[in-house]
Amino acid sequence: MSSGSFRNIFVGYSDNTPPPEINRNGSVSGLSELEEIMRNAIDNPDTCVFLHPGQRRDYTRDELIALRKRDFETRLFLTSTQCAGDTVFLRTHHTDNAGHESHLNYVRDYLKAAHATRITCAKSNLTTLLTMCFELAPSDYYTFAISLASGLSNYGQNTDFEINTSMAPSQADVPDLRYKFCQLMDVIFSKMATKKFLLDDKRSNIYRLVYCKTQYSRSSSSIYSAIFSFTLQLCLTAYIGLQQNTQDAEDEGSPKSKCNLSMLALAIFTFTYSFMVAMSTISEALSAYKILFKGVGALMIMDFIANIVLPLLLACYGFFLILSEENFINAVLNTTALISISEIDDQLPQILGYSEDDIIRNFLINESMTDYDAVKDVQVKDLARLDVGACGLPFGDFYITNMQERGMIAQRGHAFQPYQVTQIEGKGVQVDPSTTVTPDCLLRKIEWKYTTGFPKSSLPRVGCLTLTKANGQKVSITRKRDPTGVIGISPLVNTLEGLFIMTTFQMSEDIIKLRVCGSADERNFMKAFDYYSLWHVTLEARRDINLLARRREEDLRRGEENVRRGEENLHEE
């Protein structure tokens, strides 16, 4: 099946979820049932606001009162049966049934089947969901993952379920179901992290690929290709070391040391490049151990030696080998040979015709079923003992304006990606889309005021937006004064503090579309981005995030010390 057809499944109605029934008056049937189910299941039914997708109306007076009690974090609600044409409902600040294009119904089908211990059905939904995540366009996956991350935040506290025998029999069962939801989604997102590491970031090599190929296969013949690569790299490095030792022995008996200063520049450059390669491969090997191997084995040891030990030896041997060379051409050839040795395990899969994409994806699907088997039989009393990684960390999706959830759709002019905010002297504020998270994307504080003039509008616009960047710089975007006096700016200030990025931004006279994601804690922000395989965060941005986190921790320590000293002074008095 092509990626386009997978996207249609994921963002539309699937074969097992028929379209909603339309009444004669054009309304969707089941809306009143949905409202009753949700009010009976959530803790604060008085805050419910049901502005259903497709409805074009103003808020009522009671709904405006309810909106004042709602925060801006996105939540999920799952039903046991189809209701109003859906089984997963997106609850934003503006409505409890926001429109969404991501097909979240498979998530509910997966949870329901696992909860009912229907192993075949659960594994079928698991593999289908995982395959669709593989095939989704990047922005479609990002919006899907961020929506789920917001629901999973605080270990599922942002997800509610219909009180029903096939979902949550009573309110007392909801906490355990939330934690199980985190466990089941951890199976999905841990595989997406492995896929990002091996395929998207192109960090596979012969050892990691053979591991994926042989882990769930009866045939182990491909292990010989890994052994060949390891033996070749080890042999070449050993011969270089033997050559260096031979030269050192000859130099001891010679009255003059064989050190050619004319080769010093090339020796330094070779060592620098080799050391940079070594640092990169060491980082990759350590990540592979955590993400892929997760234990000690023959292939893991080969990968460790070939990508940690040998690169460091080659960097040291290479420096002295080039420095002692008398012929310029031989020095260049030796440099090329030294560089190529560490790349043998990276190039061999292509030479042997291995299909990396198919091998890794098949491995991840098999691995997901193994992980599911480890989770499905866990008793309720043992759920809290299991590790769910970063799944469940505080991380939210925030709809500042009322809009439909969707990824990037270029034909409709809808973007979903990080936005950079820069203050250009003499030109004002510039907001630009970016393919990666840069320091200019990071926001410590977001403050906004809605426009006045249409107080009951269900499509509120932002008239004043103040952003505090990671470096402390403040930038403001404010609408021009309305000459007619009809539209103004509300004095009420809404605030988000922590670390955030804007993912959707559209502006005319006012800001008409604004969606952000992030966390109140900088380290949780970074952990969530890595865990959910979101946009790449540049090294400069990571450095700024770590700096902000350290400053926050130091401030907390100072605050705790001041409190402790104050208590000691009171005790002495």
Q: What is the pLDDT of residues 299-354, one digit of tens each?
A: 999 999 999 999 999 999 889 888 888 889 988 998 998 889 999 999 999 999 99
What was the pLDDT predicted at 82? Answer: 85
Round to whole Å and give the CA distance between 545 and 529: 12
Residue 409 inside a domain? The answer is: no
Q: Which residues contact 273 (CB under 8 A, 6 or more apart)?
A: 339
* 318 located within any domain: yes
Q: Could you tell me the residue range of the domain that residue 127 belongs to?
A: 3-197
| CB of 94 closer than 8 Å to CB of 332 | no
pLDDT in tens, 392-424: 889 999 999 999 999 988 777 788 999 999 988
Do 148 and 253 share a domain, yes or no? no
Q: Give the helix, strand, coil percentages of the chain, each rounded to 5.
A: 55, 15, 30
231 and 177 in a single domain? The answer is no
Averaged pLDDT, 105-128:
87
Assess if residue 260 is contained within a domain. Answer: yes
Region 259-288 average pLDDT:
91
Cβ atoms 78, 159 nearer than 8 A: yes
The answer as to whether 565 is a domain residue is no
Task: Give 213's Cβ-side CA count (13 Å radius).
Answer: 23
Q: In this model, does residue 61 exceed pLDDT 70? A: yes
Do 423 and 553 lie in a common domain?
yes
- Looking at the fold, whether 458 and 324 belong to one and the same domain comes out as no
Q: Which of 311, 338, 353 represents a domain boundary (last residue)?
A: 353
Whether the CB-CB separation of 18 and 110 falls below 8 Å is answered with: no
Do residue 191 and residue 228 come from a single domain? no
Please work out, in degrees rounded to the nearest 5, the angle formed at the alpha carbon of residue 4 by the alpha carbons of 190 and 140. 45
Contact 147, 90 (CB under 8 A): yes
Q: What is the pLDDT of residue 202?
A: 92
Q: What is the pTM of this model?
A: 0.88
Mean per-residue pLDDT, 454-476:
94
205 falls within a domain: no
Query: Is 47 in the same domain as 145?
Result: yes
Give how many domains the chain has, as a whole number.
3
Torsion of CA 40, 45, 49, 54, to 10 degrees: -10
pLDDT(531) > 80: yes
User: In angstroms, what is the C-alpha Rg of the chain?
Assistant: 29
425 and 533 co-located in one domain: yes
Inform me whether the pLDDT recorded for 5 exceeds 50: no
Tell me the mean pLDDT in the region 436-461. Answer: 95
* Helix, coil or strand: residue 122: helix
Residue, of 165 and 528, whose pLDDT is higher: 528
Does residue 243 come out as left (phi exceeding 0), alpha (psi in the -120 to 50 range) or beta?
alpha
Q: How confident is the model at residue 26 (pLDDT cuts 50, 70, 90)?
A: very low
The answer to whether residues 259 and 137 belong to one domain is no
What is the rounded CA–CA span in Å between residue 46 and residue 380? 31
- Is 403 a domain residue? no
Q: Is 307 among the domain residues?
A: yes
345/421 same-domain check: no
Residue 49 lies in a domain: yes
| 44 and 182 co-located in one domain | yes
The answer on 231 and 148 residing in a single domain is no
* Residue 497 and residue 534 in one domain: yes
